[in-house]
Structure 1
Amino acid sequence: MLPTTSADLIPGDLIQLDHQATTPCHPLVVQAMKPWWEQEWGNASSRQHRLGLTAAAAVASARHRLASHLGVEDDELIFTSGATEANNLALLGHARARAKAEGRCGHVITLATEHHAVLDPMHQLQREGFALTVLRPQDNGLIDADMLNDVLRDDTQMVSVMAANNEIGVVQPLRALADLCRSRGITLHTDAAQAFGHLRLNRDELGCDLISLSAHKLNGPKGIGALVKRRGVSIQPLFWGGGQEQELRPGTLPVPLIVGFAAAADLAHADLETWQQQLTLLRDRLWQGLKSRHPQLEMNGAHQPRLAHNLNITIADVSGVRLHRCLKRSLACSSGSACSRGEPSHVLQAIGRSRREAEASLRLSLGRTTTAAEIDRAVDVISACINQLHGS
């Protein structure tokens, strides 16, 4: 047991620097959803009366607004419960459909730094008979078209590469990867849960065939996401019943959540560049403040291209358990994905960090509510803990 914690060292309210795990629902998003929980509570599939028709119109409006942010047609956007379901529908659904059409299970590729919501479905495909390559990126977390080209095979059917990494924030060169995939007739999927609402994403500029999205990473509600599917890309449903969402994702549509998703996307895109500039300044202030006090700190992942609100650092020669115990009463952050199952980050280990180093790493992710004063307090809190653990 440590005799003190950072709460004793640096008093004050909990500093929230875990916005890549989830974000607070924006007050305007809550306001937009409110009528659809109470007065307008109809089922969007019930077209025989006003309540149902009003709900269906709200879903159509939300779908159109979300599609417009991505440069796609309305019917190319399929609502899901979140990016995890969208990933499963894209990867399992497309691979199975393509294997059926081609008469064989082919080869699929992903990165060792992907979220488990991609890695786990890919390993399920491997159990079903698909050949799987898990590509290790460079130590900065990035890959390039040459690296991908080196592992392509004549039977490669699908590649999945995250747009922006959920732990180290690096932004992959999807356009170059897409050009390579298209030249070989390979389907490209991207998990864009961390990128949508933080980067401007246009499907045709990215070149992706399948894109997974989530609302709760951009100040929207939890429990709603979407899969963007290019026309002509075949998918088998994962379950059946009801026929909603082009019979690819049946079930009663959660109208309030869909309305909230569109409202959050509208808000994010209305001032996207301004907020990204502000978050970049705050993120760099955090990094420079920590680095000036502790020159031994190392940043994980390329400095650019990187999400503006992400900083991932490794603190050498400290116990990760003791570090997080020291921080937890003053600072909300993580050592990896919120879905990491308590294990040291597989992302950091894939880019060359040891298990011990991965445990002694911090993912610090900023949000719309983050202030300069909180950044300065975070520098003090983290620095105090490092000094305490080093016995200074």
Structure 2
Amino acid sequence: MTDSYPIYLDYHATTPVDPRVAEKMLHYMTTEFGNASSIDHCYGDRAQKAVSQAATQVAELIGASRKEIVFTSGATESINLAIQGTIFAHTPATGKPRIAVSPVEHKAVLDTCNALAKKGLAELVYLRIDSQGRLDLDELQQVCATGVALLCVMAANNEIGTIYPVETIGNLTKTYNIPFLCDASQAIGKIPIKFQEWGITYLTISAHKLYGPKGVGALVMRQGYRLEPILFGGGHQQGIRSGTLNVPGIVGLGEACRLRQLEMAEDERKIAALRDKLQGLLLKEIPGLVINGDMSDRLSGNLHISVPDIPNSAVISRVRDRLAISTGAACSSGVETPSHVLQGLGLSSQVIDGALRIGIGKFTTESDIDRAAEILGSEVRAIRALMEA
């Protein structure tokens, strides 16, 4: 970054748009600006062709069919459509439909489930996790055996980076014929996902997590399943999601997916090396540093740390002009409440209060890593000296 900007290490919150993606989008903002639903002239035809191509690009990255792609405004809308649409379409023989959900899901999942439960429309079953955020698969099988209307488990955690065994979970839900919603916002473009092969029913994508634009995403919906729409007005996308299609955004999502398919493996290898270097430097620079999450199975760019004797707000206030890191999920930033993810892991209040999320991406450099370690180490030492004075 230039001297006027801090080093950006908050890639879990959002990623910079790849310039190649932005170039494609600009063309569909200014030259090919047609409405994809206007079928009476070539502008609309070309817009619709671009949307179709983007659907193919998304589908190819995740092992789905183009016909299974429903474009949305992002993962939050996709999650709401999948959860609410499932419950509104559900007709249980007796009692309320049950939703089984991991307690460390994104707030978009948890808040939607809680809203339905509060209205008496669903019953929630929270799954068990350990101190590293890993699911108890034996307990999950027992829950599935009792029958649930929907299972919600993310592909990778947005705070601690823990990767979940989606293929194993998908096979389990197939055995018990349970719809499976997988929030893959943090995972798409970082780890391989095989939608059809792994038995996922609904998959959510947000473009801005994989070097695409904000405000566009997709719900991947397995053929043969039915959702009640939550938006009405025109019956777009087979009546599942009405609204004029964001053609430039959709083109951006498609191009971002195409590029990730080509470059993901090499990029993630480099990103993991940078993460490991930063982790090693910080462990040397900061005595007592704690690494949170599953260190053996986490996203390449994730480094979630705690300095147990120093509030994270104290660190952020001293580094914010030089280093862009966060105290937790962007969905809850500015809200003075402890992380529900870290609370769900059963961590001590000191570890939770000292937690910092570092996200590394494809535009992070070696010098960024060296400088970030120097800044954090120096400021932690300074804070400790003040506390001891």
TM bucket (normalised to shorter chain) is over 0.9
Residue 108 in structure 1 maps to residue 102 in structure 2: no
Q: Specify every segment of 5 or more residues in structure 2 that has no aligned partner in the other structure, as ranges.
A: none
Residue 46 in structure 1 maps to residue 59 in structure 2: no
In the TM superposition, 1:68-147 aligns within 5 A as 68-98=60-90, 100=91, 102=93, 104-127=95-118, 128-147=120-139
In the TM superposition, 1:307-326 aligns within 5 A as 307-326=299-318
In the TM superposition, 1:1-392 aligns within 5 A as 13-98=5-90, 100=91, 102=93, 104-127=95-118, 128-152=120-144, 154-341=146-333, 342=335, 343-391=337-385
Contact 1:136–1:350 (8 Å) recurs in 2: no
For the structure 1 residues 59 and 348, does the alpha-carbon distance in structure 2 shift closer, same or farther, using more than 3 Å as the test? same
Contact 1:82–1:214 (8 Å) recurs in 2: yes
What is the one-letter code of the residue matched to 1:240?
F
Q: Specify every segment of 5 or more residues in structure 1 that has no aligned partner in the other structure, as ranges.
A: 1-10
RMSD of aligned alpha carbons: 1.6
What is the one-letter code of the residue matched to 2:382?
Q
- Cα deviation for residue 104 of structure 1 reads 4.8
- Cα deviation for residue 355 of structure 1 reads 3.9
The C-alpha deviation readout for 1:325-384, integer Å capped at 9, x for no partner, is 112111101111001152221111111223443231110001111001110100011101
Distance in 2 (alpha carbons) for counterparts of 1:306 and 1:59: 33
Contact 2:100–2:125 (8 Å) recurs in 1: yes
- Cα deviation for residue 102 of structure 1 reads 4.8
Deviates more, 1:236-245 or 1:123-132: 123-132
TM-score by length of 2: 0.94
Distance in 1 (alpha carbons) for counterparts of 2:96 and 2:88: 8
Deviates more, 1:243-252 or 1:177-186: 177-186
- Cα deviation for residue 187 of structure 1 reads 1.0
Distance in 2 (alpha carbons) for counterparts of 1:231 and 1:48: 29
Distance in 1 (alpha carbons) for counterparts of 2:248 and 2:5: 32
Distance in 1 (alpha carbons) for counterparts of 2:104 and 2:196: 25
- Cα deviation for residue 101 of structure 1 reads 6.3
TM-score by length of 1: 0.94
- Cα deviation for residue 304 of structure 1 reads 1.9
Distance in 2 (alpha carbons) for counterparts of 1:116 and 1:305: 22
Distance in 1 (alpha carbons) for counterparts of 2:165 and 2:128: 15
- Cα deviation for residue 239 of structure 1 reads 1.7
Distance in 1 (alpha carbons) for counterparts of 2:18 and 2:168: 35
Q: Alignment length, in residue pairs?
A: 381
Distance in 2 (alpha carbons) for counterparts of 1:260 and 1:390: 46
For the structure 1 residues 197 and 153, does the alpha-carbon distance in structure 2 shift closer, same or farther, using more than 3 Å as the test? same
The C-alpha deviation readout for 1:224-267, integer Å capped at 9, x for no partner, is 00001111111000021111111010000010000010111111
- Cα deviation for residue 295 of structure 1 reads 3.6
- Cα deviation for residue 151 of structure 1 reads 3.3
Contact 2:162–2:298 (8 Å) recurs in 1: yes
SS at match of 2:197: helix
Identity %: 37
What is the one-letter code of the residue matched to 1:376?
D
**Partner of 1:8 in structure 2?**
none
What is the one-letter code of the residue matched to 1:340?
S
Contact 1:113–1:136 (8 Å) recurs in 2: no
What is the one-letter code of the residue matched to 1:255?
V
Contact 1:86–1:225 (8 Å) recurs in 2: yes
Distance in 2 (alpha carbons) for counterparts of 1:154 and 1:282: 44
Contact 2:328–2:357 (8 Å) recurs in 1: yes
Contact 2:145–2:176 (8 Å) recurs in 1: no
- Cα deviation for residue 272 of structure 1 reads 1.0
What is the one-letter code of the residue matched to 2:339?
S
Distance in 1 (alpha carbons) for counterparts of 2:74 and 2:46: 24
The C-alpha deviation readout for 1:302-331, integer Å capped at 9, x for no partner, is 012110000000101112221211121111
SS at match of 2:332: coil
**Partner of 1:4 in structure 2?**
none
